[in-house]
Amino acid sequence: MTVRLRDLLLGLRDLGLAHAPVIVHSSLKSFGPLEGGPGMVVNALVSVFNAVLVPTFTYKTMVTPLTGPENNAITYGSQPDLNLMAEFFTPRLPADPLMGIIADTLRRHPRALRSTHPIQSFAGVNAAPLINAQTMTDHLAPIGLLERADGWVILMGVDHTVNTSIHYAEKLAGRRGFVRWALTPKGVVECPGFPGCSAGFQAVAPDIDKFTRRVQVGECLIQAVPLKMLFRVVKTLIKQDPQALLCHQTDCERCNAIRAMA
Ligand SMILES: [Zn+2]
């Protein structure tokens, strides 16, 4: 069955969040056959929700210096070839393919605004206060503001391993961040507070399950998670076990750095 605009609108409305601001993580492919492509999904999101925020992160701006602070989960001087391929951040730089084509399509919406963090920018429609909340030292501030506005996370065909908001809750739980560097037209910029790895985040699912709303649209499972409860659950998990939500790859530099401190 091909998914049409009407199916998507009905499905999103069934979540019962028409007046909520949301942050959306998505996979276009997860819908199966879809009439209208990513533009149709963006139009549906913008028409159903009060404000729509998406991550438009740009990892190809990142450079690795020869030296830097210790215990930073990075091998200094290890990426000379990648440094040569790094791109300058500009507001028009497309989002990394990992963000999904729906996020990058929303970035190009006529009413979209985008923040200017060279690695971790956000784009949004009807979301100016959220976008403007971001600073270089608090790049996840839009998510904090979204939580205070009773916002929700929408996961369209993706799981918690891409749920950026969990990073904000990790920070609230006292988990450390890292320093990274990005190429900009003004030179290399230091970006503090770079979050840890998210590969282990699906472990939050059983604890947040009873607060999660779900609808099925075509082949896509759409889940909605309230940020207030997500933050509460993540903080509790990390308080109970300082190694909660870390991944199990033995060579994961960021998870190993956090484990060493826990
Ligand atoms: Zn990891």
Q: What is the pLDDT of residues 6-56, one digit of tens each?
A: 999 999 999 999 889 999 999 999 999 999 999 999 999 999 999 999 999
What stretch of H or E contains 180?
A: strand 178-184
pLDDT number for residue 95: 98
Burial of 10 (0-12, 13-18, 19+ CB in 10 A): middle
Percent of the chain at pLDDT above 70?
A: 100
Distance (Å) from CA 204 to ligand 1 centroid: 15
Question: Can you tell me the distance from the alpha carbon of 156 to that of 146, in angstroms, rounded to the nearest whole number?
Answer: 18
Distance (Å) from CA 2 to ligand 1 centroid: 37
Distance (Å) from CA 167 to ligand 1 centroid: 13
Single pTM value for the model:
0.96
Distance (Å) from CA 58 to ligand 1 centroid: 20
Distance (Å) from CA 248 to ligand 1 centroid: 7
Distance (Å) from CA 199 to ligand 1 centroid: 6
Distance (Å) from CA 246 to ligand 1 centroid: 6
Taking only the tens place, the pLDDT of each residue in 108-143 is 999 999 999 999 999 999 999 999 999 999 999 999
Percent of the chain at pLDDT above 90?
A: 95
Distance (Å) from CA 202 to ligand 1 centroid: 12
pLDDT exceeds cutoff 80 at 262: no
Distance (Å) from CA 257 to ligand 1 centroid: 10
Nearest to 230 by CA among 102, 116, 144: 144
Taking only the tens place, the pLDDT of each residue in 46-97 is 999 999 999 999 999 999 999 999 999 999 998 888 888 999 999 999 999 9
pLDDT number for residue 34: 96
Distance (Å) from CA 79 to ligand 1 centroid: 19
Distance (Å) from CA 201 to ligand 1 centroid: 9
Burial of 127 (0-12, 13-18, 19+ CB in 10 A): buried
Distance (Å) from CA 259 to ligand 1 centroid: 10
Distance (Å) from CA 75 to ligand 1 centroid: 15
Beta-ladder partners of 23 = 53, 153
Distance (Å) from CA 72 to ligand 1 centroid: 14
Distance (Å) from CA 124 to ligand 1 centroid: 28
Distance (Å) from CA 110 to ligand 1 centroid: 37
- Within 10 A of 198 (CB to CB), how many other CB atoms are there? 19
* Cα-based distances in Å from 176 to 63, 71, 116, 245, 251: 21, 11, 23, 14, 19
pLDDT number for residue 84: 87
pLDDT number for residue 8: 97
Distance (Å) from CA 256 to ligand 1 centroid: 7
pLDDT number for residue 80: 82
